Amino acid sequence: MILQALYNYYQILRNDPDVEIAEPAYSNAPVSYALNLSLEGTLLDIIPLVVPVQTGNRTVERPRRFNVPEQVKRSVNVAANFLCDNAAYVLGLTGKEAKDPEYAQKRFEAFRQLNTEILSQANSPAARAVSAFLQKYNPQNAKENPIIARHMEGLLEGGNLIFQVQGQNTLDDSEIRRVWEKYKTGQEAIEMQCLVTGETEPIARLHPDIKGVRDAKSTGASLVSFNLDASVSYGKGQGLNSPISQRVASGYGVALNFLLSNQNLNRKIYLGDTTVVYWAESADKRFADTFYMLLNPEYLEIEDNEAILKHDQDAEKMMGAVAEKVEQGKPMDIAMLRQGLDENTRFYVLGLAPSAARIAVRFFLTEPFGVFAERIMQHYKDLNIQKEYANQPDFLSPYRILAECVSPKVTRRDDEIKSSWSLLGGALMRSILTGAPYPEGLYAAFINRIRYDSDESKDDGRKRNVKINYIRAAYIKAHLLRKYRRQGQNHYEEALQMSLNESYTHPAYVLGRLFAVLEKGQKDALGKNINATIKDRYFTSACASPASVFPTLLRLSHHHTAKSEYGNVTDRKIQDLLNLVEASPFPTRLSLDEQGIFVLGYYHQRAAFYAKNGENAVENAEPETA
């Protein structure tokens, strides 16, 4: 199914005039230099082929991409490419002589043999010029050549080289292309029925390398690979074990490499170690644009190895209008959301992760585009909760949710997310796009962070909410909503609201509210500049085993209310909350779900204090931190 969808997308890309992709028997590859030859095969110059690329605030030079003859797949074997390869093959230059004195020489000889064999069948000046160069070139004298010496440092970096003859790219020569395509199709291959097309065709023994999956091999990794006895069946080795034609293998490889490349204008989505690509069964690029906008109202940029979240105000505005429709139970205005796109168009989402020299499929989802859009909006609706500060985003991206599972003291948070939550990133995305409950491991991670983190002091001595903040409370609410939605009976439904529910009497929720009242009583008595609040010292124990902590907290509250100007008001509030709890007010232990309800009770009550003070949350808005 994955290969078929990618091959169909390849056909769409081939008909797109705005996209440059490789044809069958060719591949798109970065090229760093061109060797410019005379008609007699003399090296005239080495021309750098780079383009400026904006990366954050910097402009860097990157190799240009060309459609070159399809490159071979190699690991440690010696295997040359046709008319495009690195300096070790094309010029016999390498920095690895110390390990193997014959390293470069063996590779140059393989390159010379392959290329002269194919070019000998071409009747063109360009083919004769390249053949002449390869016949008389001697790698032993390369460093004495002033043209090569001038570019030696760049050549040894490992980029690809191509040939020009009097400034004309040899790969544009029709005669050279003819003999290459004849050579490619003439290679011996077993013919079988292709699993994708159903036609009897030459079968690909090896599948193309896929490049661009984060943390996978930079030289490329395999999506489809059979090279162990345990992986094959009935004596069918490698590609014959699961027959895919050469035509389809080349096509799906081109399509997937395009989706993972910088040529693709649609941003890839990174969650943990998972790289997510997406496409529609349509040439209309607005499908992918809208999908990304829905899923990332605040988009992630990587600049100087640091993750930076930026707000996309257009996306926020668009989704706000759509969310209002969902909230009112009205059908979504498809024209408004998708700008006239057909909601029934098939859409695909593929999550890939590194796995040694291979690529693992974290998930592959396909639905009509409208179904994905509605599920994403349901995800945001489930997360909806009263904010702490006015400038906090209405819609929380998956990256922000995962970032809350990492200690705020970690300096390189994006790297920590990748290493610590590799599986959870893919599981979270799959839950969002399928409407399924969120992964339990992610909920446990949130509870653990609440246990171990503490609020941070700001420059003025006040505390910034880290232990329990807007994002953590929103996720806990959404997690429990989705978990019990499929079970048919939700005992905590009245707690899983946007804001405070004063009539809900579940002990965990009431005790969470009580803890917020006790904390406020301490601040009223001692001021905001407190070294260690009761939340810093007692919250974790109060959340897990209330009976062991609340008697102590209530005794402390008597001292605080005695010093507070409004102590009597706090005393009455404490008593009102105690009256909501049954005869045995303090449970000895709360389950993991009940701990989440305790956190929500605390968060709702604290947010209610701010709301009653004349929109205090708006007046005291804090700058966002990623």
| DSSP assignment of 406-453 | S-TT-SSHHHHHHHHSHHHHHHHHHHHHHTPPPPHHHHHHHHHHHHH-
- CA-based nearest residue to 182, from 368, 347, 25, 417: 25
Contact 379, 432 (CB under 8 A): yes
Question: How close are the terminal C-alpha atoms of the chain, in Å?
Answer: 37
CB-neighbour burial class of residue 623 (10 A; exposed 0-12, middle 13-18, buried 19+): exposed
Given a cut of 70, the residues of the chain with pLDDT beneath it are 56, 97-98, 186-188, 230-239, 297-340, 410-422, 457-463, 582-584, 611-626
pLDDT at 22: 80
Q: So what's the pLDDT on residue 325?
A: 46
**Tokens 């609340």, residue located:** 550
Q: What's the chain's length in residues?
A: 626
Contact 316, 395 (CB under 8 A): yes
pTM over 0.85: no
CB 93 within 8 A of CB 33: no
Q: Which of 70, 112, 69 is nearest to 209 (CA)?
A: 70
- Residues 358, 222 contacting (CB under 8 angstroms): yes
pLDDT of residue 417: 59
Give, in order, the Cα–Cα distances in Å from 450 to each of 114, 394, 405, 446, 601. Answer: 63, 22, 9, 6, 14
Q: Residue 461 burial by CB count (10 A; 0-12/13-18/19+): exposed, middle or buried?
A: exposed
565 vs 605: CA distance, rounded Å: 21
Asked whether the beta carbons of 275 and 214 are under 8 A apart, the reply is yes
pLDDT for 235 equals 60
Q: Which two tokens stand for residue 324?
A: 């209002």
The single residue listed with the structure tokens 């609040």 is: 533
Please report where in the chains the tokens 């090229």 appear, as a residue.
31
Q: Tell me, what DSSP letter sits at residue 204?
A: P
- The candidate with the shortest Cα–Cα distance to 364, out of 459, 223, 478, is 223
- Angle value at C-alpha 255, between 252 and 256, nearest 5 degrees: 85
Residue 24 confidence (pLDDT): 78
Q: What is the pLDDT of residue 301?
A: 35
